[in-house]
């Protein structure tokens, strides 16, 4: 077996493959098909302070090489997650990342307190959510708000648990967003979140999604994600988790060459249940064939 271990903020992952928030739930359904302990980590379904039913259907639309989703953070709430799912996840030998989302700074801070006290390994801050106290603009829409929310959440975390800030691509400058997260105390950044999008039904002359707008993900966003990961790798010194359209081992290698230490696999898990497991197997074969450790390729892009 090749050495696929990577270290993020002092946390050791057995391999760089993390199940992305949103497409993997809390892992229960996938555990029926393969041993999810093989994963490097799991980023939970986005958690909110209270239970959310999400947006009305239809809330998924297929598009060329991707999907547009407007699920709307459907989840049982942070307390229910801690009570019903966290202990089950802890039985598996994988890094547990709690993805948290909120409408106010107070929401984020309360959730950070709860999940850190409950013993997750890392926290991922979803800053693509609308700040209801600032007119609905996303927390991640500008550098000032990114730095502010990051600093507030960082102070609410107990036990020295690392904070990952998940960056939105829907900004003027992704490198400025990364720098703001680092300045606010982020230990790591993950990118990209979904790209704002919509779909239209020409027969009904209506939007396909009930919520009109959604977030684009899948292979079609990979070139954008690669560029943004590379830009951020040149702008900050904290580690990066690459996200966006990863479906195979080659995609992972591309992200790591561009500066990512680990990656998250999202939409691919919907189209192929064992996508993440196959990527891990193929990464192992690649490293064995080339007689390298996976960390040897991080930041190795020749420009």
Catalytic residues: 129
263 and 241 Cβ atoms separated by less than 8 Å: yes
The C-alpha atoms of residue 218 and residue 64 are separated, in whole angstroms, by: 9
**CB-based contacts of 99: which residues, under 8 Å, 6+ apart?**
21, 43, 44, 45, 46, 47, 124, 126, 166
Distance CA 232, CA 236 (A): 6
d(CA 94, CA 7): 13
Burial 157-194 (b: 16+ CB within 10 A, else e): beeebbbbbbbbbbbeebbbbbbbbbebbbbbbbbbbb
How many residues are given for the chain?
Answer: 303
The two tokens of residue 158 are: 């107990």
SS3 assignment, position 293: coil
Whether residue 48 contacts residue 77, with contact meaning beta carbons closer than 8 Å, is answered with yes
For residue 95, what are the contacts with CB-CB under 8 A and spacing of at least 6?
11, 13, 18, 40, 41, 42, 121, 122
List of residues 6+ apart from 174 with CB closer than 8 A: 167, 191, 192, 228, 231, 232
- Residues 162, 122 contacting (CB under 8 angstroms): yes
């Amino acid at each position: 077996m090749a050495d696929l271990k990577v270290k993020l903020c002092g946390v050791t992952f057995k391999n760089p493959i993390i199940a992305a928030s949103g497409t993997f739930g809390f892992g229960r359904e996938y555990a029926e098909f393969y041993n999810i302990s093989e994963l490097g980590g799991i980023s939970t379904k986005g958690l909110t302070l209270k239970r959310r039913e999400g947006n009305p259907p239809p809330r998924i639309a297929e598009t060329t090489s991707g999907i547009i989703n407007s699920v709307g953070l459907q989840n049982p709430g942070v307390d229910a997650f801690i009570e019903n799912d966290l202990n089950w996840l802890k039985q598996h030998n994988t890094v547990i990342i709690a993805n948290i989302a909120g409408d106010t700074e107070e929401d984020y801070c309360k959730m950070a307190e709860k999940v850190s006290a409950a013993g997750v390994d890392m926290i991922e801050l979803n800053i693509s959510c609308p700040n209801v106290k600032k007119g609905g603009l996303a927390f991640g829409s500008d550098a000032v708000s990114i730095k502010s929310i990051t600093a507030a959440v960082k102070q609410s975390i107990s036990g020295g648990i690392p904070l990952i800030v998940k960056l939105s691509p829907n900004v003027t400058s992704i490198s400025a967003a990364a720098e703001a997260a680092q300045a606010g105390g982020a230990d790591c950044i993950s990118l990209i979140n979904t790209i704002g999008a919509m779909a239209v039904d020409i027969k009904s002359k209506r939007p396909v999604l009930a919520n009109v707008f959604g977030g684009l993900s899948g292979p079609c966003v990979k070139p954008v994600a690669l560029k943004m990961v590379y830009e951020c790798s040149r702008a900050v010194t904290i580690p990066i988790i690459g996200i966006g359209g990863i479906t195979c081992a080659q995609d992972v290698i591309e992200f790591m060459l561009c500066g990512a230490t680990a990656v998250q696999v999202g939409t691919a898990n919907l189209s192929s249940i064992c996508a993440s497991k196959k990527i891990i197997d193929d990464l192992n074969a690649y490293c064995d064939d080339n007689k390298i450790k996976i960390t040897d390729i991080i930041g190795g892009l020749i420009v």
